[in-house]
Chain A
Amino acid sequence: MPPRPPNPADADLVAKAIAGDREAFGDLYEHYLPAIYRYVFYRVGDAGEAEDLTETVFVKAWEALERYRPTEAPFAAWLYRIAHNLVVDRHRAQKPVDPLDEHVVEVRPEADPAAQAEAREAASALAQALKKLEPAQQEVLALRFVNGLSHAETATIMGRSAGAVRVLQHRALAALRQWLKKAESK
């Protein structure tokens, strides 16, 4: 999944939103909603939870906008960071959600029913395997491969060096491979 290109009007919209312009913030929301949702979905594995959390990410972002410093991090990275913190909080506060099933995975509607069913199954298996990993491993894989961010972007969001991200990525892929193999053998 290639990352969505940055919105050239971001800086302007962000400045307006910081000044209290709700409609500008609504534009930012519409632009970043798919990416943040995708990230959250593959972290929590539940469509309803992912929608709630995604919305909350933007409410928190609105509340904290005055503290956002564009010079320190891109707006998208800042949103991912808030999303990550909310996911961590949610994992701490709640019991794990039920395993994914076909009713909670929303895939692109243009696919035919058979392809949709297959895609749901694949998404479920992947999300289940991801959930077995350590939180940092889940995060690096979601950012790198589900959201298609580069090593450098992932490093910015996770607050680590690019080298540390590579090491984490290696361990995470190895762990994921183990879980997928285990799932296939069942």
Chain B
Amino acid sequence: MTSSLPEILGECLEALEREGLTLDECLARYPEQREALRPLLSAALELRRAPEAAPSAEFQRVARARLLNRLPDRAAAPRRRLGWLALGWPRWQRPSLRWAASLALVIALLGGTTAAYASAGSVPGDGLYPLKRSLEEARLALTFSPVDKTQLRVEFAARRLDEAEALLQQGQPGQAEALLSTYETERAWVTQTLTDWSDPRAQALAAALAAHDARRAALAGRLWPTAIAAQVTATASATASATITPTPSATRTPSPTVTRLSSQTPTPRAYPTLIETPIVTHIVAPLPTDKVVVPPILSRYCWPAGVPTPEQWPAGWPTPDPNCEPLPIPTQICWPPGVATPDPSRWPDGVPTPDLNCWPDRRATRAAELATALPTRWPTDWPTPDPSAWPPGNWATARPTDWLTPDPGNWPTPDPSAWPTSSGNWATAWPTDWPTPDLNDRTPRRP
């Protein structure tokens, strides 16, 4: 039987690799293909002799610590609850897709349509969510056309975005971030599949994926720390110093100053103006990068007064304080990409508008970043302020001047008709570190 040139080339390369033959010895085995094989084998050998590229010594020195600091907490990942259905198993230990397909059939036969329908709107943490994901797996298992299968994957990837959006609205950014990560994994597989295709439907799927990518980018923009995870500066190298300025160029960029205090001073909180909306209305200034690793003892975040603030402040960060020390209005404000800028109508005259193009290039600060070996992610175990530990009497003095002072005499009476009737979800938007409101007690008080 005559072998094709690719096969002969493969055999010859394997002989070089396994038997230790020389190039000429290998060519002698295939005299007819000798001339065709020689340049190909030479190129292969040249590649094999390629210098052994290795990460820089600095990178290797801190690699493990850097990685471990970047790893998200998987404890925050969605947990599955329907243990008896075996859905709580780690996925790789779970029964096969054939089993999942059988499950889908059983559910269908036993009138499980209602459950399937009910699970459609579920999100991680809901009891029906594992069912939703299992049904997706079952549909994939029962789909044999590669095109249809990829179409399903695109559809399911979009569902992860729906879920991430829902979780963001519920104030669960950690789980939303995990879903975006799942989306990216699915997306990577789909794009790889599409590159191998000539099917006309591939174009439509690529277009659908592009639309989903836009949604994903918008969601990532709302997830503060991850949206700028790649934009890391290293000016925080002086970890021991009391003041850390997280922008690399003090002359170009305003310097939100992080002040480390020696004790667990709590973060000042806003008074709610309405009991249903205990949301801070003003926070301050150009954002720091997530490279500014603030140790847990830090609890104040100083910011230039007069600089408008982003609309969304990352959960878990100390509330910025424009009153802790005077900071001048900067001449240029470099705004991190991916973080929504404040409403232009709030932007005062005389303050430079945010510049999205001047955020420092990571490369420029890379060496210092590696040398400091600081974690690249905001600590997930950021301590929640304990209201009972707040200093008596003076904690409100650091409150921003533009926050409203509540007047108990004008405290609004909650409108019972506007109160959510369902007991299922109204409490989820309540800050986790605030006491659960007592609906029967309308006496004004600090939250």
Interfacial residues, chain A to chain B (CB-CB below 8 A): 1, 18-20, 22-23, 25-26, 29-30, 33-34, 37-38, 41-42, 47-48, 50-52, 54-55, 58-60, 62-71, 82, 84-86, 88-89, 92, 105-109, 119-120, 122-123, 126, 135, 141, 144-146, 148, 150-151, 163, 166-167, 169-171, 173-174, 176-177, 180
Residue positions of B touching A, CB distance < 8 A: 5-7, 9-10, 13-14, 17, 39-40, 42-44, 46-57, 59-60, 63-64, 66-68, 70-72, 74-75, 77, 90-92, 178, 181-182, 184-185, 188-189, 191-192, 195, 230, 363, 366
Q: How far is the CA of A59 from the CA of B184 in the complex (A)?
A: 13
A66, B77: Cβ atoms closer than 8 Å: yes
Q: Are B51 and A123 in contact, with the CB atoms below 8 A?
A: yes
> B182 — which chain A residues lie within 8 A by C-beta?
63-64
Q: Is A176 a contact partner of B47 (Cβ separation < 8 A)? A: yes
Report the minimal beta-carbon distance from B61 to chain A, rounded to whole angstroms.
Answer: 12
A75 to B58, CA, bound (A): 27
Which 9 A-B pairs rank lowest in CB-CB distance, beginning with the nearest?
A: A85-B188, A145-B47, A170-B6, A119-B51, A166-B10, A69-B92, A41-B53, A123-B51, A173-B40
Most chain B beta-carbon neighbours within 10 Å: one of A64, A119, A145: A145
B188-A177 in contact (CB<8A): no
Interface SS majority for chain B:
helix
Shortest distance in angstroms between A34's beta carbon and chain B's nearest beta carbon? 6
Q: Given the complex, which residues of B lie within 8 Å of A48, measured CB to CB?
A: 363, 366
Shortest CB-to-CB span from A184 to chain B, Å, is 11
**In this complex, what residue of A is CB-closest to B196?**
A136
Q: A107-B54, A166-B10 are in contact. List 18 more A-B contacts (CB 8 A).
A: A1-B52, A20-B75, A34-B55, A38-B52, A38-B54, A48-B363, A60-B184, A84-B192, A85-B185, A107-B51, A107-B52, A123-B53, A126-B46, A148-B17, A151-B14, A173-B40, A174-B40, A177-B43
Q: Which of the listed residues A42, A54, A85, A150 has the most CB atoms from chain B within 10 Å of its own CB?
A: A85
Measured between C-beta atoms, what is the minimum distance from A152 to chain B in Å? 10
Select which of A86, A169, A171 is within 8 A of B10 by beta carbon. Answer: A169
A105/B67 contact (C-beta < 8 A), A176-B43, A180-B43 known? no
Q: Is the CB of B40 within 8 A of A170?
A: yes
In angstroms, Cα B230 to Cα A163, docked, is: 40
How far, in Å, is B252 (CB) from chain A's closest CB? 23
In the complex, 27 of the A-B residue pairs with CB atoms within 8 angstroms, ordered by the A residue number, are A20-B75, A25-B71, A26-B68, A29-B63, A30-B63, A33-B60, A38-B54, A42-B53, A50-B55, A54-B55, A55-B66, A60-B181, A63-B185, A64-B182, A65-B74, A67-B91, A89-B191, A105-B51, A119-B51, A145-B47, A145-B48, A148-B17, A166-B9, A169-B10, A173-B9, A177-B42, A177-B43
Q: Which of B72, B182, B188 has the most chain A CB within a 10 Å cutoff?
A: B188
Looking at the assembled complex, report how far the CB atom of B375 sits from the nearest CB atom of chain A, in whole angstroms: 12
Q: Which of A23, A47, A145 contacts B56 (CB 8 A)?
A: A47
With A66-B77, A86-B188, A151-B10 as known contacts, state yes or no: A146 contacts B47, CB within 8 Å: yes
Of A59, A64, A123, which one neighbours B67 at CB under 8 angstroms? A59
Q: Is the pair B90, A63 in contact by a Cβ cutoff of 8 Å?
A: no
Check B185 against A29 for contact (C-beta < 8 Å): no
**In the complex, which of the residues B17, B55, B184 has the most CB atoms of chain A within 10 Å of its own CB atom?**
B55
CB-nearest residue of chain B to A14 = B92
CB distance from B55 to the nearest CB of A (A): 5
Provide the bound-state CA to CA distance between A135 and B195, in Å: 10
A120 to B52 CA separation, bound complex (whole angstroms): 10
Cβ-defined contact, B74 with A62, below 8 A: yes
Chain B residue, CB-CB nearest to A49: B363
CB neighbours (8 Å) of B74 from chain A are 20, 62-63, 65-66
Shortest A140–chain B CB gap in Å is 11
Residues on the A chain within 8 Å of B46, using CB = 126, 180
Q: Which of B71, B185, B192 contacts A64 (CB 8 A)?
A: B185
Residues of A within 8 A of B43 (CB): 173, 176-177, 180
- Given A18-B92, A173-B40, A177-B39, CB of A106 within 8 Å of CB of B53: yes
